Structure 1
Amino acid sequence: MSSSSSTHKDTEKDVKQEDEEPLDMSILFQPLQLGSVTLSNRIGMSAMSRNRADPKRIPSNLMKKYYLQRALGGAGLIISEATLISNHGAQFDRAPGIWNTEQVAGWRKITNVVHLAGCKMYCQLWHLGRLSPPDEDGKIYSPSPIRATGDKHGFHYLLGDLEFRLPTEIEDPWVFVQLFKAAAVNAKAAGFDGVELHGAAGFLVHQFLDTSANARTDSWGGSPSNRCRFGLEVLKALVDVFGPNVGVKLAPTGGFNDTGMPLPETLATYRHFIAEADKLGLAYICVHRHNPHKDPSINGKRRGTPHDCVASYAPQLASPGTKLWIVGGVTPKEAAALVRSGRVAGVFFGIPWLAHPDLAKRIRHGKNLDNLVAMPYLYGDVQAGVDPRVGYTDYPSVTY
């Protein structure tokens, strides 16, 4: 492909260019001890669903090429796309899983080449909770039988659904804790350096944290400490498998998939969660900043609670081993300033990595981030028979 602009139509800019003089980015390329491994730099690639696994949710050879491109592009740490811990289903029909040996073998091919490129890789463990399609028994599982508000998306359209269905209350949350632990065992067998618990975006862990989805009156709901219990028990189970090489992604500002609480309740919940998670000896805690694009107006009102996540939660981290990372629309210039100030240890980029397989190298060498994101092909388009490489592995790098 000669240029992204000539091939990718109906696109949008992923990063605004800075008008000021170039900023010294060297701070982003200092090594960082994370758990028991050393990262080559502070630039991470966040988890992003791309929907290119095979029909059995086994990671594909095309996925291997995609991750290798970005490992060669200088990422210090790659987080896999959200990876299903069970066959309960996902909003995308080709999201990968990690519950059987075939999937483990597919992931091992990917971690092998990522490591050969000098990069570290974590697997993000994912359960959708009330956002799942129904399982083979027709059930959808959630902390409480509370239907999410808003339009359905992705795989749900294939089911003919326009709205979320009413979920079934999880009778025994320990069953799901064990599902996460089994997935971590598989992730270790697949060669991942660690695992990241998906505690954001309105999925299962987030649902336990948020009163919009958790109305339980037992020891898994009610008070902030009770609502935090599920996520903390999952983290303990993951630490049993991976030791210090465990992270968690949180979205305190809400807005994702019909989540969000008033600010006092939000602060009480997430300050408790982060303080307790810090005691477990994790590698990092990543907080997702408020993103208005992921906080749609529902019935004329946004659910999110914008606030400064770094200022609000950094004081809860007392362990020198647990690093604070941030994600959510961070520019390279802002990333360098945040790391230099000591407010965060590292920064995850999302959309910029999609269109720039050499993102970290571009930042290091002062190159423009001028590729265009092929928005219609973020999740592929298997139904239409579109070449899955389009908008996935066909973005150009620059010459160094």
Structure 2
Amino acid sequence: MTSYSSLFQPIQLGDITVQNRIGMSALTRNRAPNTVPSDLMAEYYVQRTLGGAGLIVTEGALVTRQGTEWSHAPGIWNSEQTEAWKKIVDAVHSNGGRIYAQLWHVGRLSHPDASEQKLAGTPVYGPSAISARGGKFRNVPGSSGYVTPTAVPDPQVIVDQFKQAAINAKLAGFDGVELHGANGYLITQFLDSTANNRTDKWGGSIENRSRFGLEVLKALVDVFGRNVALKLSPSGGYNDVGMPLQETLDTYRYFITEADKLNLSYITLVRYVPHTDHHGERKRGIPHDVLESYRTYIKNAKIFLNATVTAEEADALIAAGKIDGAFIGFNWITHPDLAKRVLHGKVLDNIPDIPHLQPGKGDGNWTVGYTDYPVAVY
């Protein structure tokens, strides 16, 4: 049995200390009816708190009403959502856990015919009028994929929406916020020259393409101080992004360097995962070693690694001084007691309920594949 002497050491993240270095990464589960977090979600997060998660990062919380492919993704733009999140945060805290809210804007990956987008009364916004290729909207009948977005007239408006979301997260009692800068969503879209061809101060040069994400981070820091984190996937092509390798290296090294000057609590680097790099028959990702390429540019924030990281690998990387911790995703879905299992040498043997990762049409019982995974006997 592995001792995991490094993985189960506490770590200081911003103003808080967490009990170990196995974080639970953001995982969209689509169980917030009409965008309002539910009591069932509280049960889900408490299960994983009791299962030993060092830091829980919530599923992406939308900072404004958008037509995402998830009809029941939670928001954090209004008072009703904020009060609902507060119940979840209070439940996690009362069971000894720590929890960050992940703040999310999907940008050009919205759909004008999705119910939430219609309610928003705004166009689908992206950095530029460049559509993502591929993709399907399961909740939009007859959808053939992404549409050409409207270029955001004034990106500062969306920066302000992120700031208001952070204010709401503070009111809800979250320990911090994580900016979702990965997986081809709006922060990535501004960074990536294949999605951003603006000619104003928000596009063109690396410095200009980085401006939007950096301004959002500054707005979050205004609210949460040191308790702001950033998630990036420089090598990933998910949602039809991806620049040539040298441009990728230059862009993300600059962006990470500038972000790190803001005294963030941690930066998560997501590794290249082939099965998420899909756009029909096309591959857009640029496989390269994210730790080797970017970790030396992070001098202040803690460094977390994400994507197919095992406990054994994480422990070894921490011991070698290459990372400070790891975020695990899918195995937290299927094992609410993941950290306890790792600590006590129990196998990860729960069978994934793939059809119920997200509730499907006609699914009345949202507990199935969500809160019904068994814990081990200790």
| TM-score, normalised relative to structure 1 | 0.91
The answer to whether structure 1 residue 240 and structure 2 residue 222 are counterparts is: yes
For 1:304, the equivalent position in structure 2 comes to 285
SS in 1 for 2:59: coil
Matches within 5 A, 1:3-82: 22-55=1-34, 57-82=35-60
Call closer, same or farther: CA 1:333–1:95 in 2, change over 3 Å: same
- For 1:153 and 1:349, locate their aligned partners in 2 and report how far apart those are by CA, in whole Å: 27
CA shift for structure 1 position 35: 0.2
- For 1:96 and 1:163, locate their aligned partners in 2 and report how far apart those are by CA, in whole Å: 22
> 1:128·1:203 contact (CA, 8 Å) conserved in 2?
yes
SS in 2 for 1:179: helix
Aligned length: 372
1:124-174 alpha-carbon deviations (Å, 9 max, x no partner): 00111000122334611000000110031343xx24211211100001010
CA shift for structure 1 position 89: 2.9
For 2:255, the equivalent position in structure 1 comes to 273
1:313 is aligned with what amino acid? Y
- For 1:89 and 1:302, locate their aligned partners in 2 and report how far apart those are by CA, in whole Å: 25
Unaligned runs of 5+ in 2: none
Matches within 5 A, 1:13-162: 22-55=1-34, 57-134=35-112, 135-136=117-118, 137=121, 139-155=123-139, 158-162=140-144
Higher relative contact order (CA 8 A, sep 6+): 1
2:137 is aligned with what amino acid? H
> 1:67·1:110 contact (CA, 8 Å) conserved in 2?
yes
Matches within 5 A, 1:308-319: 308-319=289-300
- Give the CA RMSD over aligned residues: 1.1
- Corresponding residue to 2:363 among 380, 385, 388: 385
CA shift for structure 1 position 385: 2.7
For 2:277, the equivalent position in structure 1 comes to 295
CA shift for structure 1 position 212: 1.8
- Corresponding residue to 1:195 among 162, 177, 190: 177
> 2:69·2:137 contact (CA, 8 Å) conserved in 1?
yes
SS in 2 for 1:287: strand
> 1:256·1:304 contact (CA, 8 Å) conserved in 2?
yes
> 1:352·1:359 contact (CA, 8 Å) conserved in 2?
yes
SS in 2 for 1:111: helix
1:72 is aligned with what amino acid? L
1:155-196 alpha-carbon deviations (Å, 9 max, x no partner): 3xx242112111000010100000000000000001100000
- For 1:372 and 1:303, locate their aligned partners in 2 and report how far apart those are by CA, in whole Å: 31
The answer to whether structure 1 residue 394 and structure 2 residue 356 are counterparts is: no
> 1:26·1:364 contact (CA, 8 Å) conserved in 2?
no
Unaligned runs of 5+ in 1: 1-21
- Corresponding residue to 2:149 among 147, 158, 167: 167
| TM-score, normalised relative to structure 2 | 0.96
> 1:88·1:132 contact (CA, 8 Å) conserved in 2?
yes
SS in 2 for 1:264: helix
CA shift for structure 1 position 87: 1.1
For 1:212, the equivalent position in structure 2 comes to 194
For 2:314, the equivalent position in structure 1 comes to 335
- For 2:85 and 2:11, locate their aligned partners in 1 and report how far apart those are by CA, in whole Å: 25
Q: Percent identity?
A: 54
